[in-house]
Every structure is written in structure tokens, then in C-alpha cells.
Structure 1
Amino acid sequence: MGTALGQSISRTLRYDGVNVFLNVDIDYYSNNKIGDIMNKINAEMARTSGAIRSFSQLVVAGITILFFIAILTSISWQLTLTSTVVLGLVVSVNQVFIKRAKMFGQQLTSDSRALTNKLIETLSGINLIKTVATEDLEFKRLKDLIYARERSEFKSQANSAIIAPINETAGIMALLLIVLAARYLFVEQIEALSAVILTYLLLLFRLLPVVGTVNNIRSGLSNKSASILVVSDYLDRSNKPFMKNGSIPFEKLKNGIKFEAVDFRYGSGNQDLALENIDLWIPRGKTVALVGTSGAGKSTLADLIPRFYDPCNGRIKFDDEDLRNYDLKTVRRRMGIVSQDTFLFNNSVLYNLTYGCEWA
């Protein structure tokens, strides 16, 4: 049941993660590395689903503890109060390792992100690396990142591993303290209540492993808390740019395309305008070439037509309708775009030629 729940959660998180990066505006990718996104969808979401699974186990363990406490209280409220204080001390001892688990988890998240980014960067630039013969340099950089990531993983696992023996030792000491407390509280009735005290201690002995499990789960959740925050921030749509879609289906261009006092800048924090006060009329059926120096804004202007970006000021009109009022997908499906950046899917020539035109 727990495995099925974990797989279902992991699958749902990845579905949502893929949906985000497919629908977010292109502007989002200028401020975020591909490696970061890949790391969030793979490693961080796996750790988050594990944390959610652990939380469900924590709820079950909590209910079990409450059930035991109810029975123990009915036997002796004095011993139960003493047991609560003693076991509270055991939980406090674990708090040190739980804080360390959170710190190691944050470091592991950071090191995993750095390694993923570097791997993707290296694979993307493999031709350049081989051209200038810097394989040894890149190997050293990757080796250092792998070592840092594995060291963080080791520290995290070592911290988790030490919790179990500490819980067992602390549990035995707690049990001894409770036995001494029982002898003190019932010193005059020890013989008459020996069966009751034995039953109480037996139940308490069965409860200690559950308390240890709770401590282990708390440590695991603390270790994965950084991943939970990373995934939560990634899936939050309120802090990402999503282009508002129009409702008018675009069928065909009748008259032409018109730019009216268009200004545009890349990124909300950038003060420099890439385009300023552009007025342009492109009649239907005419071929228009944009000529200018590198960085003059030719590609930027072209990217505004399929609404890869929206102007900061002014507007672009198809015929007499603002481009933003059209349904975005119907606009782009009517366009043929040849990018200056060459990309091919790892598939057949036929697949690449007819991509987006399944009817062909």
C-alpha cells in the first residue's frame, strides 16, 4: 500500500512538473538553467514523494502512540506522566540529529543541482570540449562535483544510521528509569501491584520501537525538507510567467501585421529596452527582410509575432485585432518558423520533417 501510494504521488508530481515547463513562458528559461529543472523533476520530486510517504507513516505511528498512551493511562496515570517526561527527553536528544539531517539535506540538494547542471552543460558542449581538447579539465570539474555530492549523501546517510542505535540505547535507559520510578511510586504496594506493573512495562516496551520509528521518520522528513521547498516553489504557478491566452480562433491573415508604438525589454528587472517605439506595417503577401547589426533587435522583433513574448508597451495587430485576443495555439499553428538555432529530435528524418503536422 505504501509503495503504491509513493509511486502514485511521485507520478503525479512529475506530471505537474512537466506540465509547468511545457506551459510556462519562454522568458522563464532565460532565468533558469535546464539542469535545475531536470534536477527538480527527477531527484527533488523523488525525495519529496518519499517525504510524503514518510508523513503518512508518521500519522499511523502517531495514532498508534495515542492508542498506547490511552491504555497506559488507564493502568497508571502516574507512571504514564513519568514515561511522557522520560520519553520526551529521548525525543529531545534526537532533535540534535534532526537539525543535522536538515542541514545535510540542504547541502545534498545544492550539490545534486550543481552536478546535474554541469553534466548537461558538458554534454551540450561536447563538440567544443573535444575541439579544444579539454577533456581532462572537464573530467576534473565533474570529478569534484561527484565527490561533493557523494560526500553529502554519505553524511546524510551516516546521520540517519546513527539515530537507530541511539534510540535503542536511550529507550533502554528510559525503561530502566521508569522501572525505578515504579518502585518509588508503588513502594508499599509493589507485591500487590506487581502483575499490573509488569503489564504496564510490557506495553511500554512495545511502545518504545514506535517512538524510535517516529524519531527516524522525523529525521527523514527534516532531511528532505529542502527538497519539499524546492518542489513546492517549482510547482507554484503564481511566481512564474504564464502568457494570458485569447479566445478568438485565428483562421488566416487578411490584410497584414501592424506594430503600434511597441516597446520591449527582456526580464522584469532589466531596464534596457531591446525595442523602442517600433511602428511597422507588413502587408499580407509581401516579403519583408530585417537588416541590422548584431543585437539590433531583429530576432526580438520576429519573436514578438508568434507571441514568444509580449510587448511592454504598445501592441501588435493581426488585421484589426490585437494579437493578444487570439487563441495562441491557433496563431502558431498557422505559422511556419525556421529558427536560427538548429534543433532535431532524436528520431527519423520523416518525423522531424512532419513534426507538428501529423496530418502530413
Structure 2
Amino acid sequence: MSLAKEKESSGEIVDTKVLKQLYRYVQPYKFQFYFLVFLTISLAILAPTRPYFIQVAIDDYISVGDSQGLLKMVYILVGLMILQAVVQWAHTFYSGWIGQVIIRDLRVKLFDHLLKLKLKFFDNTPIGRLVTRNVSDIETLADVFSEGLAAIIGDLLQLVTILGVMFYIDWKLTLVSLCTLPLMIISTYIFKEKIKVTFNDVRNAVSNLNAFLQEHITGMNIVQIFNREDREFEKFKEINREHRTAHIKSVLYYSIYFPVAEIIQAIGIGLVVWYGAVGVLGMDIQVGVLISFIMYLQLFFRPIRMIADRFNTLQMGVVSSSRIFKLLDSTEHIANEGDFKPEKVKGHIEVKDLWFAYVDEDYVLKNINFEVKPGQTVALVGATGAGKSSTINLLSRFYEINKGSISIDGTDIRDFELSTLRKHIGVVLQDVFLFSNSIYYNITLGNPNITREQVLEAAEMVGAKKFIERLPGGLDYNVMERGATLSVGQRQLISFVRAMVYNPEIIILDEATSSVDTETEELIQESIEKMMKGRTSIVIAHRLSTIQKADQIIVLHKGEIVETGTHETLLEMGGYYTQLHQMQLKTMAI
């Protein structure tokens, strides 16, 4: 599968629609959120108090030698500093706490949503990109609350408060102090626009990098088999180079902006000192006022310097949020509107006028009709792409039917509650997926209702018990990722046990023995017959020798049924099935 690079626009700075969607996740924590707002306002009010009391201490007490009054001011300043430290701690803690609980809830919701999506969605979406959504993008949302929205509101309130106090104390000195403000605003705006683009490039690069790594690590055997290591390594270096370039651009802009901001602030302070010193010498300005204004300027320019960074943090949070909500808004989920929950089914399957397409109206199944009576075994055969696997995927509702219907015991499968439908159908696939966990977990998939005795009983039925008991730890043996420590045949046997332990009434074998050698196939063939005994079975097999005893064989060609009958009757017809049979005989002879 080729990897399409992700390119997404950064969007507006503040997308109110996305923020409203985020606010829905704040609702369960309204008390903490409003408390955080209160703390934000408190910090904005406390910020300018220290310079003001220092000014009062200098002009009203130090200048007149009032030591008692000065001591009182020291106590007030110490108390204010302690109060500000406590409020700052609470603000930092609650902003981080709210961010973490929200991303926890959102990550759970997103993963739950992914579990319900159609397989068609995963066919068209790189897994690495979904990992980015569920990990990196959601993690970015925490910064919206800790370093984004709350911090921006706090900075703006602090600016307004400081400016108000400065004008109240000395409006002329305030105007002089603000002479460099236009320069600071212009440089901050330019920085914000530049860094916004680079931040978005970084997010896209991370997504592309994750998707590339996931795809190529999973398919490493193909890369090595076809000697593509050097070529794929060059591709990786290119994607990694783009990731590095995006980061370096952001570092470059930071390295330019902050020194420029410091110079502008220094110029502003220099103007204040010059104008204030003239005023002090002329007895128009008190020394405490001049000192407090220097402190006010430092407090005033700090949030301006930071606000650009805050806006971009908010911006990236909004971008990540929009990506996540876009995924959550996806309608490619399997509709689970049925409420039929039978304890048992007989296994009578009817397929009527079935049409199905993966894309638009490019049908891979056309007007399929067949019936499987309870306890019967039906085999689907045909060339690759004939529609065999598509048919059984529709039976388990991994994909939705375009036209027609499939029913079990006379009830449309869409009327079944989804988990109930799948509980009655055991599926054994050709490509066996095993999790990096114990054999016991891979068979039960964490179902606490399945005992070890049941697992061993099912293993005995399909002939897997002996090899499991020979492994270190038996059922507790860790198979590693994708069952790397087991042979193909052993993995397939585990998949048989996994299907049988749920005791389904319907069994589907999708080329379940095509990956094992002939000797292993002969060993498990008897177990497969036991497994299918008394159950409705649908078998897909390339090896026609394995389905000769089927009650009915359905031959598919280009999505249509071309022949039906038993092995003997189909051979007598001398049609498409006969051609397939003769081709396999020639292959075996060779």
C-alpha cells in the first residue's frame, strides 16, 4: 500500500465550532473549569500589585525614613508573593488536570469509535495516521488547557490590568512606555504567522512519519524479500528530513523573535528611564514611580512575547481537535440497530439477490443466491477476486450489503444485535493475527467467561493440545507480536481453537489450511471435520481436495455464481469447476 502524505491546512486561529465541541467534554468537570477561570482572573489581578506596593514602600516610607511603615509593606509583599505562588500552583495544577482528564475521555471515545468502524475505513486509511490521531493529536489537546486557552485569557487580563494601573499612576509615563508597543505587536504578529505554518508542517510530518514507520515495520519481510532496504531507507530519510526541517524552521523563528522582543523591551525600558530620570530630576516624578514602571514594563512585555506562542499552541490544539472530531464524525460505522438476540440459532442461511461493491457501483458480487441448510457444509470456490471472501465478510457484517439480503433462520442479519450475530459465527481466516500475549489470551481474547478447561477441550478437538503443552508455560506461553515465535501451522491451529472455544453454530473457514504444509493439513483435516460436525459450515478453499465432501459447492467467477452442485456432479458438467480441478491436478503432478 502506498503512503499518501498528509497535507492539511491549519485553519483559522480560533475555530469556534471546534471550541464548542471541546467544551462538551468540559461539561462533566464544570466546577473545576470555573474554578480555573477564577484562578486565571485572580492571577491577572495579583500581577500588578507587587510593583505598586514597592512604589508605595519607596515613595511613602523609604524616602521619609519610616522603618515601621516599611516593615508593614514588607509583610504585605511577602504575603502577596505567597498568595500569588499558591494561586499560580493551583492554576498550573488544575489547567493540567482538566487537560489530562479531557484527553483521557476523548481518547477512550475515539478508540471506542474506531472499534465500530467498517473494515472498509481501515482498508483506505493508513494505520499510522490513526495512531497519530489517538496519541499525538489527542496529547496536543492537553496544551489547549494548560498552555493555550486559559493562558491566553490570563495574559490578556493581565495586560489590561497592568495598563489600567499604569495609566492611573502616570498617564504621560505610560504613553512613553508604550512607544515601542507597535514594534512589539508587529514582530509578534509576524512570528505568530510564521510559527503557525511551521507547527502545522510539524504535525503533518509526524503523521506521515508514523504512517510510514507502521507500514514498513509491519511489512518488513516484504521489504527484505525484494531487497528494498536501501530504497525504503532513502524514502524514510526524506520523510525524516522533512520532519527535521519543519522543526528547525520553528527553532529558527524562535531564535529570531525572542532576541528581537528583548531588544524592543530594552528600548522601551531605556525610554522610560530617560524620561523618568528627567522627571525625577525636575521633581515631577517620584523615584518609586519610575522603579515601578520599569517593573510594569517587564510584566507587560512578557505576556506579549508569550501570547504568540500561546496562540500557536491553541492553533495546533484546534487543528488536532478538528482532525479528531472529523474522525469521530465519520459515518463509516456499522449500524447496530437490530435488537434480535437469540441464545441459539439453527444455522439456516439464505442469500437472496445479493449485490455488493467496495467502491461506488463497481460490484464485486452480482445477484448472488444460495441456501445453506442447518448442519450442511457449503464450499465457495473460484479464482482470486471471484468474490468468495466478500461473501463471508458480508455474512458477519464486516461490510454492509448494497442490495439484497442475507438471513439466518429467516431473520435478516441486519435485525440481529451485532455482537449476538458474530457470537453465533466462528471465523477462521488464512492470515492469522496473534497479539503479543499468552496463548490463553489469544484464544479467549480476554473473555473472563471462558475457562482454561474449555480452552484445553477445544484445543484437544482441533489437535492443538499436544503442541501447546510442549511449549514453555503451555497456555501461558507468550507468542510475541503477530505470533512470531510460532510456525504458520501452529498459528493456524490456535485460530481453530479460538473459533471453537465460543462453540458457534456457524463455522466459516476462509482458506484456513492454505498457509500450512500438506503434512500439517492432513493432521488437522480430521479435526476440521469434527469441528464442522453438527454445524452449518461455509468453506473457502483453493485446494479442491479439501472440499470434496461438501454438501454443495458454489463456483464463483467475476462476482457471479456460474455453477453449483456436489464435487461429482460438477466434474460431470465439464465446466469451470472441472477446469479448476484439472489445473490443480497438473500443478500437483509437477
Specify if TM > 0.5.
Answer: yes
Instruction: Indicate if the aligned counterparts of 1:250 and 1:327 stay in contact, CA closer than 8 A.
Output: no
Deviation string, structure 1 residues 215-244 (Cα, Å, up to 9, x no partner):
33224444665434333423xx32331222
For residues 105 and 269 of structure 2, what CA distance do their matches in structure 1 show? 44
Q: Which residue of structure 2 aligns with residue 136 of structure 1? A: 230
How far is the alpha carbon of 1:5 from its aligned partner?
Answer: 4.1
Question: Equivalent residue for 1:262?
Answer: 354
* 1:290-309 → structure 2 map (5 Å cutoff): 290-309=380-399
Q: Deviations over 1:77-134 (max 9, x none)?
A: 5665776675244122211111111111222122222222221122112222222333
Q: Work out whether 1:28 is the aligned partner of 2:28.
A: no
Query: Are 1:114 and 2:208 matched, yes or no?
Result: yes
Q: Tell me whether 1:247 sits opposite 2:339 in the alignment.
A: yes
CA shift, 1:76, in A, is: 4.5
Q: Residue 45 of structure 1 aligns with which residue?
A: 138
Question: Does structure 2 conserve the Cα–Cα contact (< 8 Å) formed by 1:255 and 1:319?
Answer: yes
Q: Deviations over 1:300-353 (max 9, x none)?
A: 110111111111122222223222121101111122101122211122223323
Distance 1:190 1:9 in 2: 58
User: Residues 338 and 175 of structure 1: is their aligned pair in 2 closer, same or farther, counting only changes over 3 Å?
Assistant: same
**Residue 105 of structure 1 aligns with which residue?**
199
The residue number in structure 2 matching 1:354 is: 444
Show the counterpart of 2:166.
72
Instruction: State which drifts further: 219-228 or 345-354.
Output: 219-228
8 Å Cα contact 1:79-1:182 kept in structure 2: yes
Output the CA distance in 2 between the equivalents of 1:35 and 1:210. Answer: 37
Which of the residues 420, 441, 456 maps onto 1:330? 420
Which amino acid in 2 is paired with 1:240? T
2:580 alignment counterpart: none
Alpha carbons of structure 1 residues 122 and 319: separation in structure 2 relative to 1, 3 Å: same
Equivalent residues, number: 354
For each residue in 1:201-221, what CA deviation from the matched residue of structure 2 results, as whole angstroms up to 9, or x when unmatched?
Answer: 543333222222223322444
- Give how far 1:247 is off: 2.0
Contact 2:99 2:141 in 1 (8 A): no
* Aligned partner of 1:216 among 287, 309, 315: 309
Name the CA shift for 1:150/1:9 in 2 (closer, same or farther; >3 Å): farther
Gaps of 5+ in 2: 1-92, 452-590
CA distance in 1, matches of 2:231, 2:430: 31
Q: Which amino acid aligns with 2:259?
A: P
C-alpha deviation, 1:139, in angstroms: 2.4
Indicate conservation of the 8 Å contact 1:101/1:159, yes or no: yes
Residue ranges of structure 1 left out of the alignment (5+ in a row): none
Amino acid at match of 2:340: I
Q: Deviations over 1:245-293 (max 9, x none)?
A: 12221322236122232221114xx330122222222222211111222
Q: Counterpart of 1:231?
A: 324
User: How far apart in 1 are the matches of 2:447 and 2:303?
Assistant: 59
Among 234, 257, 262, the residue aligned to 1:168? 262
- Checking the alignment, whether the CA contact within 8 Å between 1:51 and 1:221 is kept in structure 2 is yes
Alpha carbons of 1:174 and 1:250: their partners in 2 closer, same or farther (altered >3 Å)?
Answer: farther
CA contact (8 A) 2:180 2:265 kept: no
Indicate how the Cα distance of structure 1 residues 231 and 164 shifts in structure 2: closer, same or farther if over 3 A, else same: farther
The whole-number CA distance in structure 1 between the counterparts of 2:331 and 2:179 is 48
- Structure 2 CA distance for aligned equivalents of residues 60 and 126 of structure 1: 50
Q: Give me the whole-angstrom Cα distance separating, in 2, the residues matched to 1:239 and 1:283.
A: 38
Identical-residue share of aligned pairs (%)? 25
Q: SS of the counterpart of 2:399?
A: coil
Cα separation, 2, equivalents of 1:324 and 1:299? 19
Partner of 1:273: 363
User: Which residue among 153, 157, 160 is the counterpart of 2:247?
Assistant: 153
The answer on whether the counterparts of 1:75 and 1:196 sit within 8 Å (CA) in structure 2 is no
Q: d(CA) in 1 for partners of 2:174 and 2:321?
A: 36
| CA distance in structure 1 between the partners assigned to 2:447 and 2:96 by the alignment | 40
Question: Normalized against structure 2, the TM-score is what?
Answer: 0.54
Q: Which has the larger radius of gyration?
A: 2
Structure 1 residue 19: Cα displacement: 2.1
1:321 equivalent among 411, 415, 418: 411
- Structure-1 separation of matches of 2:211 and 2:439: 30
Give the RMSD, CA atoms, in angstroms.
Answer: 3.0
For the structure 1 residues 63 and 274, does the alpha-carbon distance in structure 2 shift closer, same or farther, using more than 3 Å as the test?
Answer: same
